[in-house]
Structure 1
Amino acid sequence: MNPFALVALSACAAAMIGAAAAYFVRVRMPRPPVGVYAASDIAFLSVGVVVAPLLYLSLSGAAVSAVFGLVLGLAVQFTLAPVCGGRWAWALALAATAVTAAFAFADRPVAVRVCTDLLLVVAVVGVANLWAQSGMRPVHVAAFAAVLTGYDLVATTLTRVTLDFATQVQGRPFAPMFALTGGDRPVAIGLGDLLLLVLFPLVATRAFGRRAGLLAASVGVGVTGVVSALFAVGALTAGFPLLTLLGPLIVAQHLVWTRRYGGERRTVDWRAGTPVRARPRDEQALPAAELTAALAVPVPDGSPEGTWFAVGEGRVLATGPTPGQARRAAGRQAPEVPVVIRMV
């Protein structure tokens, strides 16, 4: 592989993380009306990522290009909309996809690759910011990374799924890989790897502060650099599942920062500029007196069996069918973390 292209790939990864961070600081994306992220959302997303390549392999290359062209166009539009307005965003997204398709029909492979890479960069910056700004938590990213680590290892090393899919989309417009070179051994990063490289530094910054975000960015660029160096010296010669290195490091960072701070900063606190503060160990456990007072609060008569009550300030703040739903509903009414008890 071209060593200069390998160095450039690491530099591009660093530049994309920097661009996403600048967008994160300067642009506030409108929060979609999807509530809060839950484990089921991450499970659904993981299943989609695993199943999608298998479905695409059953389609023609042209059909796959059409699907990804639509997806990239929509992602570019909602990324640019907060910056230049909805109409201009639509015009730019449609123009960019049309130009890329025109280069493909004109058989201009280098131009197709450059245009596709630019569309991917804008789309990844937008999707990562949408997820980070709308409340995706580090535990969600860590769980997603853990699932993709196992899938990437199986799909790339133990089976031909990744190889067959890469062969199918290579050189086509809107291919889901950031590629600097073409040929039989392209220098490229897959869309899933790229998304996690950019996403975790943003989520870590929001939840744990700037230092955590800088560490996450450094780890991502470092992993990309190490893999590139192994290809440059010939230690690696075939496709390598990047997430087998990056995924466990994302999980480790989540565990370290959660233990360090005893929790994470909420999105509303991040938007308000509230600094991250490590809670002392004695504050992380509920005092016995407060627990006793909470248990003494009377609950409404006639509540269904199995209802959970979020209690604070000497009253029932909210109810829900699960502890998490009751706690989240109470969080909209009171700034403090409520006590959650279940009706006996």
Structure 2
Amino acid sequence: MTVFFQLAVSCALALAVCAGAVCYFRTVRTPRLPIGVFNGADIFLMMGFVLALPYLYLALPGAVLPAVLALAFAGGLSVGYQPVIGDGRLRWALIAALVASVFAAHLAFGDTSAPYWTANSCVVALVVVSATNINVQGGMRLKNVAWFLLALTVYDAFFAWVVPLTEELSDAVQGYPFAPAAGLRVGEDLGAVLGMGDLLAYALFTTAAYKAYGKAGLRTAMALVVLFGAVAPVATLHLVGAVTGHAPALVPAQVFFGPAAFLGHLLLRRRGPERRMAEIVFARERIGGPRQRPARTARAQAPATG
């Protein structure tokens, strides 16, 4: 029963976040950030940020950590959904309501309850959709995502099996609201949780693949997310437990998904060059504004940006 519950929740969450990110990509145009073209230096900087963030979290007193996470969630929601809700007061009122719902559910039902994890998962999913589109629409290409995920594979394996930083961070947020994860718990026995970083990896790859190669990229990415992002980690967890009699405390999903995503990138690359943002027609409608369709730009006239 447990394995089927975890498979169902993991697949549903991963697919929902990826579908949400692609839907946002198709309908909403985010303001372009002045970051230029993504290159190897950007990947290096991103990995530096990923490496430093857990240490920052662990350095904070326990009671301060949820407040910092709540502020980070609120900031990510504000930036990502400004094109959707232009009225700043309305946007912040909705964000405050979302953040308050997580805190209220945690206070009323506890950190192992279904209401808390439902509210927290909604906020985390919305933040992931926002962060994905800021990066992909801002110039991040599929090859950048593939290399980043490959580096993330090494990072996750090292800090899960050599230096238990990931487990320490998980323990640090136990008992507090605003966990950087999404999932569902039903009672004390049934539970499935996916880290926010893993969900961001799935959404980045799926949205970048769709941007680069259209429906073919989307189909490939969704299949890889289900097989190697959701099914493989859960199956491995239970298989190791059945063989050894001791289930591992943590199976880093990126160990499976990172290499698979990189191979998926190499497979898709055979279709030709990646599409750029200037080549994609957006059919979007701003809330409170008219439908806008930017004109298609020929490849020869496209700027040298993602």
Query: Do these two structures clear the TM 0.5 threshold for a shared fold by scoring above it?
Result: yes
Provide the rounded CA distance (Å) in 2 between the counterparts of 1:175 and 1:272: 34
CA shift, 1:42, in A, is: 1.8
78-87 vs 135-144, greater mean Cα deviation: 78-87
| Contact 1:138–1:204 (CA under 8 A) maintained in structure 2 | yes
CA shift, 1:232, in A, is: 4.6
Residue 5 (str. 1) matches residue 5 (str. 2): yes
Counterpart in the other structure of 1:189: 194
Tell me which amino acid in the other structure corresponds to 1:268.
A
Provide the rounded CA distance (Å) in 2 between the counterparts of 1:337 and 1:29: 17
Q: Any unmatched runs of 5+ in structure 2?
A: 284-299
Counterpart in the other structure of 1:199: 204
Tell me which amino acid in the other structure corresponds to 1:228.
V
Provide the rounded CA distance (Å) in 1 between the counterparts of 2:58 and 2:176: 14
Provide the rounded CA distance (Å) in 2 between the counterparts of 1:194 and 1:86: 29
| Contact 2:32–2:138 (CA under 8 A) maintained in structure 1 | yes
Counterpart in the other structure of 1:209: 214
State how 1:2-41 maps to structure 2 within 5 Å: 2-6=2-6, 7-41=8-42
Mark the CA change 1:21 to 1:47 in structure 2 (over 3 Å): closer, same or farther: same
Provide the rounded CA distance (Å) in 2 between the counterparts of 1:134 and 1:250: 21
Q: Tell which has more relative contact order, 1 or 2 (C-alpha 8 A, sep 6+).
A: 2
TM-score by length of 2: 0.82
Counterpart in the other structure of 1:128: 132
Return the match for 1:91 from 74, 77, 93: 93
Structure (1 or 2) with the larger CA radius of gyration: 1
Tell me which amino acid in the other structure corresponds to 2:96.
L
Mark the CA change 1:218 to 1:154 in structure 2 (over 3 Å): closer, same or farther: same
Return the match for 2:279 from 246, 269, 272: 269
Counterpart in the other structure of 2:182: 178
Deviations 1:57-107 (A, max 9, x none): 122222221111111111122333222324222211122113323444456
Residue 335 (str. 1) matches residue 301 (str. 2): yes
Deviations 1:34-58 (A, max 9, x none): 3332322221111111121122212
State how 1:1-344 maps to structure 2 within 5 Å: 2-6=2-6, 7-87=8-88, 88-106=90-108, 108-109=110-111, 110=113, 111-181=115-185, 186-223=191-228, 224-232=230-238, 234-235=241-242, 236-261=247-272, 263-271=273-281, 335=301
CA shift, 1:157, in A, is: 1.5
Q: How many residues align?
A: 280
TM-score by length of 1: 0.74
Counterpart in the other structure of 1:295: none
Mark the CA change 1:336 to 1:54 in structure 2 (over 3 Å): closer, same or farther: closer
| Contact 2:181–2:195 (CA under 8 A) maintained in structure 1 | yes
| Contact 1:68–1:174 (CA under 8 A) maintained in structure 2 | yes
RMSD of the TM alignment (CA)?
2.8
Q: Any unmatched runs of 5+ in structure 1?
A: 274-333, 339-344
Provide the rounded CA distance (Å) in 2 between the counterparts of 1:60 and 1:106: 23
